[in-house]
Amino acid sequence: MSANIINAILVTSLATFMSRFLGAISSEGIKENSKIFRWFNCLAYATLAALIARTIIFPAGILLDTSYLCRFVVVTFSIFIFFITRKNYVYPTVFSALSLAILNNFF
């Protein structure tokens, strides 16, 4: 069992670092204002938004115990804090974890 875990960690690490290495090598020829760069940027944000939406709407694991109202309130306030703190990621992340834990105990 532990050999399978070690092999999985090695393979995923190799895949991650190999793609980063190839990206660093090929990044010299890509301009930040190019259409392909903007397309990949939009694709990354769309994937992140889809994963967040999936987590909120169809949760797995311990999030199944939380209500939709709880999740909606936490996400709404976290977005509000994100814009108040000038698009800082730390404050809404900490706020969302703490508020979800607190709200889950009361609802």
Q: What is the 3-state secondary structure (H, E, C) of the chain?
A: CHHHHHHHHHHHHHHHHHHHHHHHHHHHHCCCCCHHHHHHHHHHHHHHHHHHHHHHHCCCHHHHHCCHHHHHHHHHHHHHHHHHCCCCCHHHHHHHHHHHHHHHHHC
In terms of phi and psi (left: phi > 0; alpha: psi -120 to 50; beta: otherwise), the region of 34 is beta
For 45-86, the pLDDT digits (tens) are 999 889 888 988 898 888 888 888 899 999 999 999 999 999
Instruction: Give the model's pLDDT for residue 7.
Output: 87
Q: Which amino acid is at 19?
A: S
Instruction: Give the model's pLDDT for residue 1.
Output: 58
Q: What backbone phi and psi angles, to 5 degrees, belong to 14?
A: -60, -45
Global pTM value: 0.59
**Torsion angle of the four alpha carbons 80, 99, 56, 66, in this order, in degrees rounded to the nearest 10:** -150
Give the model's confidence band at 98: pLDDT under 50 very low, under 70 low, under 90 confident, else very high: very high
For 1-44, the pLDDT digits (tens) are 577 888 888 999 998 899 889 888 887 777 788 888 889 889 99
Token readout for 80 is 């509000």
Domain definitions of the chain by residue range = 1-29, 31-58, 66-107
